Copies of this chain bind each other. A is one copy, B any other.
């Protein structure tokens, strides 16, 4: 009970939000503490998303940007034939919904891969705040620019990489993001299914499975269902002849 009440205690959530999400979003970008507080003030914290629950769906009106606080999200485009294209997985501190600004309508869907909490940032109030805090404009341009660079790295991966390179890149990307968040870079649990991984990487589920098995046979990783252990980050990196995702310089 005390654990449960701690989860819904607003003060704690507010602190958690600032520490976990806001700080991660804002501090590296050089936003000042006072401005962070003003940004924090316009945010709301809806109840946590359960696994499989949608944060928004393609076609929904765009009202807010979202920052993941805990858990993880899958962002995907639903296709006509009932299938979907996974566009990305979002970890705490990452911003979601930026692609909806153009048409003021979400063009993709976002659902929780596990129990997930987010901060809701009403876009209109964000706009007002930008008028008061000029640096905020550049700040958000940076955030959205980062998404753009991320997608471009993904285009490179899908355009040039084979199955092994795709999976290795995926694992290294997760590893790096977990490390940045203070978790182990060499052991973590996947919150997404093999199906989602394959979909994201443009591969069949079976190919993902086979690649996991091959990497395990080579002693580079140990895979047991969702649990992944990376034994040799160097060898994993060596498998990638493409620039690593998120690396600032991607030229040779």
Interface residues of A (CB under 8 A from B): 57-59, 77-83, 85-87, 98-103, 105, 107-109, 127, 130-131, 134, 137-138, 140-149, 151-152, 154-156, 158-160, 199-202, 241-243, 248-252
A107 near B77: Cβ-Cβ < 8 Å: no
B145 near A100: Cβ-Cβ < 8 Å: yes
> For A101, what are the chain B residues with a Cβ–Cβ distance below 8 Å?
138, 141-142, 145
The one of B131, B145, B251 that contacts A78, using a Cβ cutoff of 8 Å: B251
Asked if A156 meets B77 with Cβ closer than 8 Å, knowing A99-B148, A130-B137, A137-B130, the reply is yes
> For A147, what are the chain B residues with a Cβ–Cβ distance below 8 Å?
148
Within the complex, the shortest CB–CB distance from A83 to chain B, in Å, comes to 8
> For A77, what are the chain B residues with a Cβ–Cβ distance below 8 Å?
152, 156, 243, 250-251
**Chain B residue at minimal CB-CB distance from A103:** B248
B142 near A134: Cβ-Cβ < 8 Å: no
Q: What are 8 A-B contacts with C-beta separation under 8 Å?
A: A57-B251, A79-B251, A86-B159, A98-B145, A99-B149, A130-B137, A151-B152, A159-B201
B249 near A58: Cβ-Cβ < 8 Å: yes
The one of B78, B83, B145, B252 that contacts A102, using a Cβ cutoff of 8 Å: B145
In the bound complex, CA of A188 to CA of B225 (Å): 52
> For A145, what are the chain B residues with a Cβ–Cβ distance below 8 Å?
98-102, 144
In the bound complex, CA of A86 to CA of B199 (Å): 22
Asked if A158 meets B159 with Cβ closer than 8 Å, knowing A140-B141, A144-B145, A151-B148, the reply is yes
A59 near B159: Cβ-Cβ < 8 Å: no
A109 near B251: Cβ-Cβ < 8 Å: yes
B85 near A156: Cβ-Cβ < 8 Å: yes
Within the complex, the shortest CB–CB distance from A108 to chain B, in Å, comes to 7
The one of B57, B86, B107 that contacts A149, using a Cβ cutoff of 8 Å: B107
